[in-house]
Amino acid sequence: MTKKQRTLVQPLFAKAESIPSLKVRKVGIVTRDYRTKFSNGYRDFSHTLSQVLRLLDDDGCDTVLFSLFSIIPRKGYDPRSAFNHLKNIKAILLEEFQDGETREAGRYVIYYRTASDWKEYEFYQVFGTITGMPQVGMDNFVKHEVSKRIMGNCCVLLCGETNGVKYSKADKKIHDTFGLRKTIPRNVNVILNPIHDRMTRFEMKLKRGFLSENNRWVISIWNKGKQDKNGKVKDGPNPAWTVFFNGKEKKASSVQNNLGVEIGVLDIKGA
């Protein structure tokens, strides 16, 4: 998260009565170097959205998860124009943002297909770290917000919201101190965790593994291109995602393309 993004609990924006019921079985995951300005003049996924969706639709994906800072909302552009003629994709998950010297995250949108048309379901990231967060803030997130993130067999945790499970220096293990993992029903076998930037602290992988225990998938994906205070980029050699299942790290299949983005596919039903 950027310094200007949320660090404490915000009002709960998701409308419970409109929660979609998704069936996530085959997921396409899409990321890029967010410093790249594409030929349309924007540093977002808008230039390649149609081609990416078509490629993943042809591959039989039902769900497409983009790294955060996904789309810059603007007059005259509607992402839904890229949804025409999709046959297999039922849900597309992305975040709106404002670009500039710093990026400002906006609403998180799940576009989901119904029998008649595409609908939207939205919410906002509530926190990125529990440092400085009052106990009541975490309690409110677990009791009131998590239920609005559960959509069929999947749950969405945005960026650092996975910090809702806590690392203990005493025993070097992750604990469900606030009841976040316990709150997610057992029939939810997928946690989608889109992220803004690569998280390099070692405990983040431990937390994803912990959340994936009891036969659950945790899919995390982030953008490349984050610079440290010295201007150095530390993307690492691996794809900009991790996948965990039942406490073990797994691999997603990389999809070769010439679109200027990085694409992976994870077939949950066939795994």
Q: Tell me which residue has tokens 């029998």.
A: 115
**pTM of the shown model:** 0.92
Average pLDDT of the residues of the chain: 92
pLDDT value at position 138? 92
Domain count, the chain: 1
- Any domain includes 139: yes
* pLDDT tens profile 156-205: 999 999 999 999 999 999 999 999 999 999 999 999 999 999 998 999 99
pLDDT value at position 209? 98
- Any domain includes 68: yes
- Any domain includes 4: no
Residue 29 or residue 269, greater confidence:
29
Residues above pLDDT 90, as percent of the chain: 84
**DSSP assignments along 246-263, one per residue:** TTEEE-PEEE--SSSSEE
Q: How confident is the model at residue 235 (pLDDT cuts 50, 70, 90)?
A: confident
- Any domain includes 199: yes
Decide: helix, strand or coil at residue 73: coil
- Any domain includes 7: no
Residue range of the domain that includes 56: 16-261
Which residues are paired to 95 by β-bridges? 108
One-letter amino acid of 247: G
pLDDT at 3 over 70: no
Q: Residue 107's domain is classified under what CATH number?
A: 3.60.110
- Any domain includes 209: yes
> β-strands 190-197, 154-156: how paired?
parallel
User: 172-177, long-range: CB within 8 Å, 24+ apart, which pairs?
Assistant: 173/206, 174/203, 174/206, 174/207, 174/209, 174/210, 176/210
Of the candidates 194, 115, 111, the one whose C-alpha atom is nearest the C-alpha of residue 151 is 111
pLDDT at 269 over 90: no
- Any domain includes 130: yes
Q: Cβ contacts of residue 150 below 8 Å, gap of 6+?
A: 19, 184, 185, 188
pLDDT value at position 270? 62
Q: How confident is the model at residue 13 (pLDDT cuts 50, 70, 90)?
A: very low
- Any domain includes 269: no
